[in-house]
């Protein structure tokens, strides 16, 4: 007896996640997350040990070559994920919480509070991101923690602006008004009725933002305002490589690392947007059909 064909259950993967770009994105990001976790257990040279011949080109012993201080570039590139990914995620979470809180308050209460908050946001928007980040990071002093603080201080308005507009449209919905009439206070209304309805767009925004935050963090390190030497960090490795232009491997491999992780997060963010936005999801289904 064979089971009827109709009963065979295929894995339930939404069509959008089966697109090549989504798969590439997931592969890149998974690779770097797994690397971040297992890299200390891999048989690699110490990323800080200056034990090898300086500036050796890629070879069997050192597949990514060595840098000017005789450190293994492969080891430094893989360890670099630990200096970038956790901080980028932390940065996005801080910006998301801060921006959402401020944006929700502005959108829900409106009036003077809204005006004050959004004008402050405009003020932050008025400066080019990297320039403002440089100013704050320079004031706080170099260091990856200070770079995260600097970027969080300038990244929250993105989230605040989006969540404000979402809360503005949601707060007059009948279910919210009904909740208020049933005696819900502003905070519980925001938490119970509004938050679940604005969470999806915020998740997409956060995922798309991860890529750009990694770029900004690396940019600050490139400029000497992020990770402090001798830490292995992609941005500062690219910065060092630019000084030694004829030794292409110094900048190329950490540059590739930045490229793959940023592209990966962007592809996942795009896919997430398509899968959570009903209109795009329909469009994709129709195209696939």
Partner 1 sequence: MKKKKVAAASIALVTAIAIAGCANGASTDAAAKTLVFDTTFDLKTSDPGRAFELTGQTIDKAIYETALTFDKGDLTKPVPQLTTYKLSDDQKTLTLTLTGTHTFSSGNPVTIDDIVFSYQRLQAIAGNPSFLLTNLSTNTPFTITKTSDTTLTITTDTPYPALPYILANPSLGVLDSKTLQKHGGTNTKDDASETYLNTTSAGSGPYQIESLDVKTKVVLTANPKYAGTKPAYSRVVFQNVLSPSQKTDIQGGQAQLSVGLNSQQVAGLASDTIKVLTSTSPNVGYLWLNQDPAYSGGITNNPQFTAAVRTGIDYSGVLAVAGNGAIQPGGIIPTQFLGAIKPDATNTFDLAAAKQSLAASGYSGQTLQISYPTDFTLDGVEFGTLAQKIQAQLQAVGIKVELAGLPITTLLQNFRAGKVQAGLMYWGPDFPDPSDYTTFSPGNPVGLRAGWTADQSPAVTAARKAAEAAVGDARAAAYETWQREANKAGVFIALLQAPRNYVTTGGISNVIPNAVWTVDVALIK
Instruction: State the minimum distance, in angstroms, from the CB of residue 94 to partner 1.
Output: 25
Residues 56-85 contacting partner 1, CB under 8 A: 68-69
Instruction: State the minimum distance, in angstroms, from the CB of residue 64 to partner 1.
Output: 17
Q: Which of 89, 92, 88, 67 is nearest to 254 (CA)?
A: 67
Q: Which of 282, 250, 206 is nearest to 55 (CA)?
A: 250
Q: In the complex with partner 1, which residue's Cβ is closer, 24 or 55? A: 55
139 is a site residue for partner 1 (CB under 8 A): no
Q: What is the 3-state secondary structure (H, E, C) of 77-96?
A: HHHHHHHHHHHHHHHHHHHH
Sequence-distant (≥ 6) Cβ neighbours of residue 73 within 8 angstroms: 62, 64, 65, 66, 67, 237, 249, 250, 253, 254
110 is a site residue for partner 1 (CB under 8 A): no
Taking CB under 8 A as the criterion, the residue among 4, 13, 182, 245 binding partner 1 is 245
90 is a site residue for partner 1 (CB under 8 A): no
Taking CB under 8 A as the criterion, the residue among 40, 63, 86, 141 binding partner 1 is 141
* Separation between Cα atoms, residue 255 and residue 252, nearest integer Å: 5
149 is a site residue for partner 1 (CB under 8 A): no
Q: In the complex with partner 1, which residue's Cβ is closer, 30 or 243? A: 243
* Separation between Cα atoms, residue 287 and residue 68, nearest integer Å: 52
Three-point CA angle 107, 152, 115, nearest 5°: 25
Taking CB under 8 A as the criterion, the residue among 57, 128, 185, 229 binding partner 1 is 229
Taking CB under 8 A as the criterion, the residue among 14, 24, 39, 48 binding partner 1 is 48
Taking CB under 8 A as the criterion, the residue among 193, 240, 270, 274 binding partner 1 is 240
Q: Which of 180, 188, 176, 167 is nearest to 118 (CA)?
A: 167
- Coil, strand, or helix at residue 72? strand
Q: Name the site residues for partner 1 (rule: CB under 8 A).
A: 48, 50, 54-55, 68-69, 138, 141-142, 224, 228-230, 240, 243-247
């Amino acid at each position: 007896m064979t089971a009827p064909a109709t009963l065979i259950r295929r894995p339930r993967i939404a069509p959008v996640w089966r697109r090549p770009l989504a798969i590439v994105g997931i592969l890149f990001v998974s690779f770097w997350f797994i690397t971040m976790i297992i890299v200390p257990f891999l048989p690699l040279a110490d990323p800080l040990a200056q034990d090898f011949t300086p500036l050796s080109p890629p070879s069997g012993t050192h597949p990514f070559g060595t840098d000017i201080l005789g450190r293994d570039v492969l080891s430094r590139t893989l360890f670099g994920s630990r200096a970038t990914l956790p901080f980028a995620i932390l940065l996005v979470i801080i910006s998301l919480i801060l921006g959402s809180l401020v944006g929700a308050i502005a959108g829900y209460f409106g009036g003077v509070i809204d005006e004050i908050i959004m004008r402050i946001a405009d003020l932050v928007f008025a400066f080019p991101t990297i320039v403002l980040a440089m100013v704050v990071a320079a004031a706080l002093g170099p260091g990856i923690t200070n770079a995260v603080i600097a970027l969080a201080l300038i990244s929250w308005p993105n989230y605040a602006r989006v969540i404000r507009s979402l809360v503005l449209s949601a707060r007059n919905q009948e279910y919210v008004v009904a909740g208020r009439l049933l005696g819900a206070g502003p905070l519980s209304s925001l938490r119970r009725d509004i938050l679940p309805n604005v969470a999806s767009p915020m998740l997409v925004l956060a995922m798309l933002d991860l890529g750009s935050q990694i770029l900004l963090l690396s940019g600050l390190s490139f400029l000497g305002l992020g990770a402090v030497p001798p830490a292995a960090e992609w941005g500062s490795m690219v910065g060092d490589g630019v000084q030694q232009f004829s030794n292409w491997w110094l900048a190329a491999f950490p540059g590739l690392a930045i490229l793959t992780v940023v592209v990966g997060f962007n592809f996942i963010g795009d896919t997430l947007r398509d899968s959570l936005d009903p209109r795009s999801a329909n469009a994709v289904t129709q195209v696939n059909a």
